[in-house]
Structure 1
Amino acid sequence: MTLPQTPSFRLDGKRALVVGGASGIGLGCAVALADAGAEVAVAARNGARVGKVVDEMTAAGLNALPMVMDVAEVAATEATVLAEGPFDVLVNAAGFAIHAPAVETEEADFDAVSNINFKGAYFLTRAVAKGLIAAGKPGSLINISSQMAHVGGNDRAVYCATKFAVEGFTKAMAIEWGKQGIRVNTICPTFIRTPLTEVTFSDPDKVAWLLSKIKLGRAGEVSDIMGPVVYLASDAAAMMTGTHMLIDGGWTAD
């Protein structure tokens, strides 16, 4: 009898691009991928912050390099990705939200959120895929979506719309690039404690509301995303494409 072998979760020899990697969920993903053996390009708009993160990762013995990128600048993003790639793994954690009642949505706010969460994510994913296709390589492309890509939320019509859109193009791209061995998936977190969510977690009423929705009875932590992102990036998830991982503590279970 020959026992089956567990697929490797290691990423040695892989090159990963983590956009929005200078803080919060993106930083956690960058550290997790590097800890699994990948060389990680940490990208964000704030070059000084990126440099600090890369210095700290390097000091910790992780393989990281800095990259300045604004996904809302589509042409510049594609040029950078094609010049610096190909990347075996993409994690796009760049995101933006302006919450307001739908009847009060300003066009400028709609465009600002869409340009990062939807348009920017679409063309970033496409750029990394183009590099892989040109090099004849497989890859794993991961967009950090949201549980709000599967449910609605008060004051979140625009945000929900952009995240639903990400789920849509994820499925279409997965179909299109499957034969090239390029997998496309999303991770959909619940509320995660990060510097960007401090405003929410400082409001007792909002905390009570979100804890009433999360069946595990606690908010998410960055560490809750680190294992799933390594899994999706690795050969252990070789049969996963065109789908999502809900890291929501049971929010969407009912």
Structure 2
Amino acid sequence: MEIRFDGKKALVTGAGKGIGRDTAKALVKCGAEVFALSRTQEDLDSLVQEYPGIHPVQCDLGDPEATKAVVESVGPIDLLVNNAGITILEPFLEVTLDAFEKVMNVNVRSVMQVSQIVAKGMVERGSGGSIVNVSSLASKCALKEHTSYCTSKGALDIMSKVMALELGPHKIRVNTVNPTVVMTDMGVKVWSDPVKAGPMLARIPLGKFVEVDDVVHAILYLLSDKAAMVNGTNLPIEGGFLTS
């Protein structure tokens, strides 16, 4: 099944590393004109060295005013991947308002703001479009010390459904991908300890963690016309974790 995005413009947030970076590269390979947004200029510089056709967009999505100015400057977008996200780990009784607000600001507010700007353009042009929000299995099950993160991803899932409901009549589809542990560079470092990884792997019938390409391929599918009737869906990518 070939997926092509020739003539389409795509914006990927959190494109400096991990899932976002590989999604940006995959979209280029599929023919899209790609705008890669990251708060880290060095990551954008190395990405453009790999793929000179990518448009680098430097922005800290934690800053609402900067977000508005930068996303509006990008221009018309047909495909949006809201991948940027942060986490701050704290036991529930020690969660600070500052940490909670920082996580919600990036993981929920920025997605709403970026999506509003992009979707308004889609509506005005009447051409439709597709939005994929990168959520997490943490929206479906509780994780210790992840109060802020789990809450933010739960909010992201239901916000995505509201977006799908209201934007669907404008031919704009909105879906989420919800992976469990993903073997990004950071994921490998955090989950390389068998003692830590063992209990989590024991709950996954396929017996392995998610590879970055597993998530990227799902994102490409949901963005594409192959998923023309998929709207408002939270797609778990977790090897059967939720069956246990």
Check if 1:78 corresponds to 2:68: yes
Separation in structure 1 between the aligned mates of residue 83 and residue 186 of structure 2, nearest angstrom: 13
Paired residues, number: 244
Question: 1:175: how far off?
Answer: 0.8
Q: Which residue of 1 aligns with 2:148?
A: 158
Match of 2:25 in 1: 31
**Structure 2 gaps, min length 5:** none
Aligned position for 2:185: 195
| Paired letter, 1:27 | R
CA deviation digits over 1:161-206, x for unaligned, max 9?
1000001110111111111111111111110111332442143322
Q: In structure 2, what is the equivalent of residue 3 of structure 1?
A: none
- TM-score normalised by L of structure 2: 0.95
Residues 1:167 and 2:157 are matched in the alignment: yes
Identity, % of aligned pairs? 38
1:1-254 matches, within 5 Å, as 9-58=3-52, 63-254=53-244
Gaps in structure 1 of 5+ consecutive residues: 1-5
What is the alpha-carbon distance in structure 2 between the residues aligned to residue 69 and residue 213 of structure 1? 38
Query: CA separation in 1, counterparts of 2:194 and 2:235?
Result: 28
For 2:234, the aligned partner's letter is H
Q: Alpha-carbon deviations, 1:127-179, whole Å to 9, x = none? A: 21122122222111111000111111121121111000001110111111111
CA distance in 1, matches of 2:203, 2:216: 22
Which stretch shifts more, 202-211 or 160-169? 202-211
Alignment check: 8 A CA contact 1:188 1:247 kept = yes
Tell me the CA shift for residue 237 of structure 1.
Answer: 0.8
Q: Name the CA distance, whole Å, in 1 between partners of 2:159 and 2:228.
A: 20
SS at 2:221's partner residue?
Answer: helix
Query: Counterparts of 1:79 and 1:223 in 2: how far apart (Å)?
Result: 32
Distance in 1 between the 2:13 and 2:193 partners? 29
Instruction: Note if contact 1:36-1:230 (Cα within 8 Å) is conserved in structure 2.
Output: no
Query: Helix, strand or coil for the counterpart of 2:115?
Result: helix
Give how far 1:83 is off.
2.2
Q: How much does 1:71 deviate? A: 1.7
CA distance in 2, matches of 1:205, 1:110: 29
Aligned-partner Cα distance in 1 for 2:188–2:95: 23
Which letter maps to 1:206? K
